[in-house]
Amino acid sequence: MTQQNSNDVNHPSKWELDYQHGTAGWDIGTPTPVFQRFLREKTFPPGRMLVPGAGRGHDAREFARHGFEVVAVDFARDAVDAMRALMDDASRHEILHHDLFQLPKELDASFDYVLEYTCFCAIDPTRRGEYADVIARVLKRCGRYIALALPLDEHVGGPPFAVNADDLVALMEQRGLKLLHREIPPDSITPRKGREELLMMEKMVE
């Protein structure tokens, strides 16, 4: 493994080292409280859901437990192994050890939902347009993009890289998605209160 790869967010070895060294600070060890609220309140009916950059799969596992057909994607082997060990065998799920930017064409227009949390802020900011292209192509018409955007600041460097929620909305609108709802969630975990924004968008075109 080269030093370059060990620090390159485009290479899985960087993330594998974080898992191995206990420096996966994005992993809170449980499902995200905001998403747990959605499930309690039945905000969305169950459907087919993509979870990009799923990590150890805490949110993917929770949605799968509630009847969603979940496809969880990560390109770090350690994350995928942890997901496979933790996922409930009785739930409807698929775990893909795959690069998000190279998802197979068979997944195009096949998802009712994309659930975003800590993936967008982890990718190289120069690839955010590519990310938006992938999200738009895998969603069905009228499919929902559900994102917790963070960190909402202007710091330099990363990961996590700074996120501007307005810029993320504009990026997705350029690809045919419409903003339905946004809020600063009251149930963010304490270190992230006021630093993340919930966005719900719907794909309006094929």
pTM listed for this prediction: 0.94
CA–CA distance, 91 with 176 (Å, rounded to integer): 32
Domain ranges of the chain: 27-203
- List b or e across 82-113, with b for residues whose CB sees 16 or more CB atoms inside 10 angstroms: bbeeebeeebebebbebebeebeeebeeebbb
CA–CA distance, 141 with 166 (Å, rounded to integer): 23
Three-class SS state of 139: strand
Three-class SS state of 100: helix
The mean-pLDDT minimum among 77-91, 110-124, 141-155 falls in 77-91
pLDDT tens digit sequence for 105-139 = 999 999 999 999 999 999 999 999 999 999 999 99
CATH of 27-203, one of 3.30.830.10, 3.40.50.150, 3.30.70.240, 1.10.8.60: 3.40.50.150
CA–CA distance, 16 with 197 (Å, rounded to integer): 28
CA–CA distance, 112 with 21 (Å, rounded to integer): 35
DSSP code of residue 41: H
CA–CA distance, 119 with 54 (Å, rounded to integer): 8
Residue 2 contacts by C-beta under 8 Å, 6 or more apart in sequence? none
Quickly state the pLDDT bin for 49 (edges 50, 70, 90).
very high
Prior bond of 159 cis (ω within 30°) = yes
* Contact in structure between 162 and 123 (CB atoms under 8 Å): no
